[in-house]
């Protein structure tokens, strides 16, 4: 039996960003598109945490939204537990939706301020018809205790809680439909540093207790290192490296991964001269030809400007860089 819970193949999403000019109809050839996700493929195994990392605009959140059905892909396929997600079929998506949930970055924005906490957590239970009557109230109390709050908190409103407590409520709500898979989109980036670790530890405990599988979206490599089993690195909508977490942090293969790690002083690899972060992410509406990273890459070669590299196997995953066929860029000794 396959241990893959979620499989993403060739996932692509274009956004039409053509600027309307008066009431002129923009011809098809004149339209401008932004490709937020470009032919992205990866698998997530049951019970693991797979992280997607990359700078702002790399396509992380677009991919997360497509996976939970908030955005329809322009191309590609998402399979959950072996079944293709059919966005056109409301009934099929409803069945699948119970099995996956999402935790958002800002717990205040994701909780209805006019609803009591008990109703917020009970909503998925009612929507999916999982329980009835007094059973629902007992389940809400149990979930609040599971996330470190009290059953009595069900009667309060979201504004009566701190940011960390609100994220605990959001997690209790996510758990209420008994999901197997949770997409965590920057789950701690809106929280004080002092409570970030508590929420991350809670998420890990819940993963063990309920056998959950996580897709973690984050720009914070310290969070990713603390939480993940495997990591995918995105650059301008393309997956440039996938590797086991340990391997990625000790032996990154792609020059962009090295640059990302070197930008975090605590994570810089000891004994290696750091590669300075240079340049800006190019305009995604008009990305550079060839390898999109070539304007910033310290190892750029003539072919990088013309030919887009394909992913090739590495020790624990894949990476897309022309250097890999010739031996990975060697760490410079400082
Ligand atoms: Fe750098 Fe070329 Fe590799 Fe792109 S393909 S990361 S430009 S060496």
The answer to whether residue 113 sits within a structural domain is no
5 lines ligand 1 (CB under 6 A): no
Residue 241's SS3 state is strand
Distance of CA 318 to the CA centre of its chain: 18
Between CA 299 and CA 314 the distance in angstroms is: 19
297 lines ligand 1 (CB under 6 A): yes
Which ligand 1 atom is nearest residue 304's CA? 2
The answer to whether residue 297 sits within a structural domain is yes
Quick one: pLDDT at residue 11? 96
Q: For residue 217, what are the β-bridge partners?
A: 52, 185
268 CA from centroid of ligand 1 (Å): 20
The answer to whether residue 97 sits within a structural domain is no
The dihedral over CA atoms of 141, 142, 148, 151, expressed in degrees to the nearest 10, equals 20
Quick one: pLDDT at residue 24? 59
Quick one: pLDDT at residue 131? 92
Distance of CA 174 to the CA centre of its chain: 16
Strand (E) or helix (H) holding 233:
strand 230-235
169 lines ligand 1 (CB under 6 A): no
Q: What's the structural domain count of the chain? A: 1
Between CA 239 and CA 196 the distance in angstroms is: 27
Which ligand 1 atom is nearest residue 301's CA? 2
The answer to whether residue 330 sits within a structural domain is yes
304 lines ligand 1 (CB under 6 A): yes
292 CA from centroid of ligand 1 (Å): 8
331 CA from centroid of ligand 1 (Å): 15
Parts of the chain with a pLDDT under 70:
1, 19-30, 87-89, 92, 265-278, 326-334
The answer to whether residue 238 sits within a structural domain is yes
Is the separation of the CB atoms in 6 and 213 below 8 Å?
yes
293 lines ligand 1 (CB under 6 A): yes
Helix 163-175 and helix 117-127, axial crossing angle in degrees, nearest 10: 20
Is the separation of the CB atoms in 235 and 293 below 8 Å?
yes
* Domain carrying residue 243: 229-265+275-334
300 lines ligand 1 (CB under 6 A): yes
Quick one: pLDDT at residue 144? 98
Which ligand 1 atom is nearest residue 309's CA? 5
The answer to whether residue 325 sits within a structural domain is yes
Quick one: pLDDT at residue 42? 97
255 lines ligand 1 (CB under 6 A): yes
Between CA 292 and CA 287 the distance in angstroms is: 6
Nearest to 239 by CA among 45, 50, 3, 16: 50
253 CA from centroid of ligand 1 (Å): 11
Is the separation of the CB atoms in 168 and 187 below 8 Å?
no
Residue 62's SS3 state is helix
259 lines ligand 1 (CB under 6 A): no
Rg (the chain; Cα; Å): 22
308 lines ligand 1 (CB under 6 A): no
* Number of neighbours of residue 97 by Cβ within 10 angstroms: 17
Is the separation of the CB atoms in 109 and 34 below 8 Å?
no
The answer to whether residue 286 sits within a structural domain is yes
Quick one: pLDDT at residue 74? 94
pTM over 0.75: yes
Q: For residue 34, what are the β-bridge partners?
A: 15
- Contacts for 307 with CB less than 8 Å, ≥ 6 apart: 290, 291, 322
61 CA from centroid of ligand 1 (Å): 25
174 CA from centroid of ligand 1 (Å): 40
* Number of neighbours of residue 244 by Cβ within 10 angstroms: 17
Q: CB-based burial of residue 64 (10 Å sphere; 0-12 exposed, 13-18 middle, 19+ buried)? A: buried
Quick one: pLDDT at residue 70? 86
Pocket test for ligand 1, best of 256, 289, 294 (most atoms within 8 A of CB): 294
Strand (E) or helix (H) holding 138:
helix 133-146
């Amino acid at each position: 039996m396959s241990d893959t819970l979620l499989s993403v193949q060739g996932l692509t999403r274009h956004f039409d960003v053509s600027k309307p000019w008066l009431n002129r109809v923009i011809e098809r050839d004149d339209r401008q598109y932004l490709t937020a996700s470009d032919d992205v493929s990866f698998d997530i195994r049951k019970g693991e945490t797979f992280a997607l990392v990359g700078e702002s605009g790399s396509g992380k959140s677009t991919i997360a939204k497509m996976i939970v059905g908030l955005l329809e892909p322009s191309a590609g396929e998402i399979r959950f537990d072996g079944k293709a997600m059919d966005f056109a079929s409301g009934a099929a998506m409803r069945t699948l939706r119970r099995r996956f949930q999402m935790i958002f970055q800002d717990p205040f924005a994701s909780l209805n301020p006019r609803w009591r906490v008990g109703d917020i957590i009970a909503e998925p239970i009612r929507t999916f018809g999982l329980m009835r009557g007094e059973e629902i109230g007992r389940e809400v109390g149990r979930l609040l205790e599971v996330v470190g709050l009290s059953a009595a908190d069900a009667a309060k409103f979201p504004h009566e809680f701190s940011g960390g407590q609100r994220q605990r409520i959001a997690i209790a709500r996510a758990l209420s439909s008994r999901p197997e898979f949770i997409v965590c989109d920057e789950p701690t980036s809106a929280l004080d540093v002092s409570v970030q670790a508590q929420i991350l530890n809670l998420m890990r405990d819940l993963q063990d207790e309920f056998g959950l599988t996580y897709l973690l979206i984050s720009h914070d490599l310290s969070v990713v290192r603390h939480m993940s089993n495997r990591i995918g690195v995105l650059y301008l909508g393309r997956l440039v490296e996938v590797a086991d977490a340990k391997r990625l942090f000790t032996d990154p293969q792609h020059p962009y991964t090295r640059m990302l790690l070197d930008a975090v002083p605590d994570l810089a690899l000891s004994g290696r001269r750091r590669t300075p972060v240079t340049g800006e992410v190019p305009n995604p509406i008009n990305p550079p030809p060839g390898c999109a990273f070539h304007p910033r890459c310290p190892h750029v070669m003539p072919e990088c400007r013309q030919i887009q590299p394909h992913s090739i196997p590495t020790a624990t995953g894949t990476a897309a860089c022309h250097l890999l066929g010739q031996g990975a860029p060697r760490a410079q000794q400082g």
